[in-house]
Structure 1
Amino acid sequence: MRAACWTCRKRTIQCDRTGNPCSKCEKAGLECFETRPLRWVKGVAIRGKMRGHALEEDYKVANRKPHPPLKLRSISPCVQSLALTRPLSFALQDPSTKDLDWSSRFYLDYYNIRIAKLFILYDSPSNPFRSLLAYAVDNITLKMSIMAVSARHFANSAWSFNQTDDTSSPRFVNANVDALHFKTRAIKALSSSLSHPESSQKDATMATILLLIFLDILESGIDGWKYHLHGAEGFVKISQSMLEPDASQHITSDSGRILEETRRFVARQFSLVSTIGGALSSSKSTLQSCINVHEGKYQESIFRSFLGCPAFLLQAIRYFSDQRHAIKTLQMHDDALIQERIRETQSMLHLTENFDSLEWASNSVQSKDLRAVDTEKLSLLLESYRIATLIYGNRVLRALMTSTGTVRSDYHGLVRQLLDLIDALEYEDTLFKCLLWPTFIAGLECQNESEQQQVMRYLKTLWDLTCCLNIINASTIVQGHWRQKHFYGNSVPDVIGQDWLLV
């Protein structure tokens, strides 16, 4: 005899167990369930403080100035700009996550839908950050780092640009605790995997280190990223072949191709972080000499780019950064050596001036991608990085020329040009979210209060789009720099004093 049906037990009557449906359910016109059915409710919880709360659908606004967007319930502007475009369904449908608790599944979904598109210029089916989820299924270290990043971003979304130390909603307090919990587990698991490295896990280990760098961006953007870079450098020395393209040329399957593309992507991000971070840090990074990303051999797809900054401009930033660090070791009485450095820096500035952003944007977009990419707007992003690189290079040149007593050059026209470019992209969220470094460089050279207010407006927009705490710290740095310039003039030193990663 079949067991009593759930519907009769729910109605607290005796089931006659005659079949499916049973006669009592059939007579009552009710659906006869053998076991308790899944209950779908509005919101993310059936009961408790989360009952009725929902993550709203994304929406578009043509012009934010005349038509401010409607406020979403209990969700900050940061979450509005990255709101879900589809229900949280990834983990519910994936049998590999069926044994995880509800919060873990939520954070994996949050990463899949929000974080993956945050740390990439253009989201696409080949998004390399989303591809990391496949590795996380069998790797606890990578899984914990993914959930730590998601929980931290969700916790940050409760804050505003001007207030980051007060959270009234329990769900955001819980997310903050979750972020610390997952981070602790990720670091412990990473320490264990580094102590006993396995060749089969080396790609997941490097991806974990990369995600911990992005976690540092979400937390502050100061110092921690550099420790992770040193860890990556040490791990590469243990397994030098892990990022070599030749090591997997024999793999021809789709899974092998995706693996190789992911390896190259991870390597490029380490190189980018080393370059952008080193440009503003107090000490030179050595990672670039250890990780060979073969930039000339493999042209990065615009759909696999983190910031959209071309390889040439990154090389120029790296060159100017090396010159800046070399100033400390130059013998100030060796005028011939200093003059040689000045000529070399001027040559690189000339090459940077001649870089054609529109041509690069056109060449980087394949014909099949034209509908997804506005080439002219993309060229504005590239031009922003080009002008920012020129300003940064001129700052280095100014420091070199100052050591010889040469009159320093005035390049405020470049600053005005950069601010105009950033302004033109302010309502292009996809591109604008990549502009922290150019905005910060412009902020260091602002000459008046009007320009300073512009920079602060751009930084607030960046916060609303990304919820990365390094943006708030960037605003603190530039405001402190402005106060120093007010009292000391242009004699303020170029070195910021700490190791900041402003991307």
Structure 2
Amino acid sequence: MRLMPSSPGLLHTIISIAALHQAYRELEVTQTSIETHRLSIMQRDATVNLHLMTSSDHLPPAATHDSLTHKQLALKSIRKELLYLEYSNLEGTIASILLLVWQDLMDSGTNSWKCHLDALKGLVPVGLAPIGLCTKAEDSSSRTIYNNFETTYAAFHILGNTFVQSKELYHPLFSTMPITQIMDLSDGQSWAGCPAQLLSIISLLNNASINISPSSDFMDTIFSAFQEFSPMKWAIANNNSSFMKPRYHLASAYKGAVAIYMTQVMHGYRETDAIQLSHIDSIDFLILHLISINFEDDHFKSLVWPSFVIGAEAREESQRKSITRIFEGLWRRWRCENVRNALKVLQYLWNLHDQMQFSDRWQWINELH
């Protein structure tokens, strides 16, 4: 909040996101009202507007006018600050760029969000991104802000690179701390919900997939870290006992999803074959972890990545229906176009698998490139 008064770009970005969220909400209310006469009270309570969830139609221009107007003003403000090197309020500029990633995920759900991360990385060579500030800044509030910047950037970069063909190595932008320490910070500060140890493993897997022939020692490191992670220990590490159950289910779902991701990107390695045989729980069991997190629980919002990965392995109709309901709930919480796109991709993968009759070891990740 303290950044907003001196950062017009940040203010416009926040308003743009809020306006888009409200536009989606109003559209759903309108469509639900139209269909009310065809649904009983019980059906309405149990039914999500799946048409809105999967429709290829976008919001009408009038509904997005405010969002697009403020997005344009935000971009102009950021451009002015960078063009004239007005980086006395650099914190607000960085926050604006990171929030624009959210705006694009909500608005289009395409890879355009990556352009904002690339712009952020472009600040480093010209000396605008203050690398190391979060460890050197004397002001504790500044350290907190830059720690938040780093963990948010790390989550966007690492998870965002999982389903692209040309993966990029993660390098800290705002910190000189070891990556493991940055990952540890993400446990308490990141919106993604992915446990730090698993996020670090995903980063290592992204790095390994870039290397044509990763060493056996490197693979052993990944495999050992995966084995050592305990969802229960991670869950009870939080001081709030009321969070233990959802955190356990969240960590268990993420661990299962990481195991699946490992077999996809490192297919054919001895270590991943062992994981496939002994560490991937049944899809039904993993889905049970997903649906055990209440829709109203804040941890539910962190299920996008593991739900997609686990959903890609769903073969039974009952499993696919459960995954679809999860994404319907995520849509209602996030109002994010990226969630709709994820479900569309899953439906494409399911249809493709059924048509081609692929084996259980089908490398579905290749269909995403």
TM-score w.r.t. the length of structure 2 is 0.82
Give 1:417 shift. 2.5
> Which residue of 396, 406, 413 maps to 2:265?
396
Check if 1:229 corresponds to 2:114. Answer: no
Identity %: 22
Structure 1 partner of 2:251: 382
Distance 2:227 2:285 in 1: 13
Distance 1:209 1:166, change over 3 A: closer
Distance 2:120 2:302 in 1: 24
> Which residue of 61, 67, 74 maps to 1:186?
74
* Equivalent pair of 2:150/2:173 in contact (CA under 8 Å): no
Please list the CA deviations of residues 430-452 of structure 1 after superposition, one character each: whole Å capped at 9, or x if unmatched: 11111010100011111222211
Q: Give the match's secondary structure for 2:315.
A: coil
Check if 1:309 corresponds to 2:194. Answer: yes
> Which residue of 285, 306, 318 maps to 1:450?
318
Give the letter for the 1:180 counterpart: L
> Which residue of 348, 358, 373 maps to 2:232?
358
Check if 1:134 corresponds to 2:2. Answer: yes
Give the letter for the 1:495 counterpart: N
Q: Which runs of 5+ in 1 are unaligned?
A: 1-132, 252-256, 331-336, 499-503
Give 1:274 shift. 0.3
* Superposition map of 1:218-297 within 5 A: 218-237=106-125, 238-249=127-138, 251=139, 257-292=140-175, 294=177, 296-297=180-181
Distance 1:291 1:245 in 2: 6
Distance 2:275 2:259 in 1: 15
Give 1:218 shift. 0.8
Distance 1:264 1:189 in 2: 24
Please list the CA deviations of residues 335-390 of structure 1 after superposition, one character each: whole Å capped at 9, or x if unmatched: xx47x45x743552342132122222322x24xxx36x422322221222122111
Structure 2 partner of 1:319: 204
Distance 1:203 1:221 in 2: 26
* Equivalent pair of 1:398/1:408 in contact (CA under 8 Å): no
Structure 1 partner of 2:297: 429
* Superposition map of 1:440-479 within 5 A: 440-479=308-347
Structure 2 partner of 1:162: 51
* Equivalent pair of 1:387/1:414 in contact (CA under 8 Å): no
Please list the CA deviations of residues 133-191 of structure 1 after superposition, one character each: whole Å capped at 9, or x if unmatched: 32121211111111111111111222344225376xxxx86441111111111112212
* Superposition map of 1:488-503 within 5 A: 488=356, 489-490=358-359, 491=362, 493-497=364-368
> Which residue of 9, 14, 31 maps to 1:146?
14
> Which residue of 78, 90, 94 maps to 1:202?
90
* Equivalent pair of 1:388/1:442 in contact (CA under 8 Å): yes
Give the letter for the 1:192 counterpart: K
Distance 2:120 2:230 in 1: 34
* Equivalent pair of 1:446/1:452 in contact (CA under 8 Å): yes
Please list the CA deviations of residues 379-437 of structure 1 after superposition, one character each: whole Å capped at 9, or x if unmatched: 22122212211111122232557xxxx99955763433211100211445311111010
Distance 2:324 2:148 in 1: 32
Give 1:301 shift. 7.4
Give 1:325 shift. 3.3
Greater radius of gyration (CA)? 1
Give the letter for the 2:254 counterpart: Y
* Equivalent pair of 1:346/1:397 in contact (CA under 8 Å): no
Give 1:297 shift. 4.4
Q: Which runs of 5+ in 2 are unaligned?
A: 29-48
Question: Aligned pair count?
Answer: 336
Distance 2:161 2:312 in 1: 17
Distance 2:219 2:274 in 1: 16
Distance 1:476 1:234, change over 3 A: same
Stretches (4+) displaced over 4 A = 172-175, 295-299, 406-412
* Structure number with higher helix proportion: 2
* Equivalent pair of 2:14/2:99 in contact (CA under 8 Å): yes
Distance 1:374 1:246, change over 3 A: closer
Distance 1:380 1:398, change over 3 A: same
Q: Give the match's secondary structure for 1:144.
A: helix
Distance 1:286 1:192 in 2: 30
- Cα RMSD of the aligned pairs, angstroms, is 2.7
Distance 1:320 1:296 in 2: 15
* Equivalent pair of 2:151/2:186 in contact (CA under 8 Å): no
* Equivalent pair of 1:398/1:409 in contact (CA under 8 Å): no
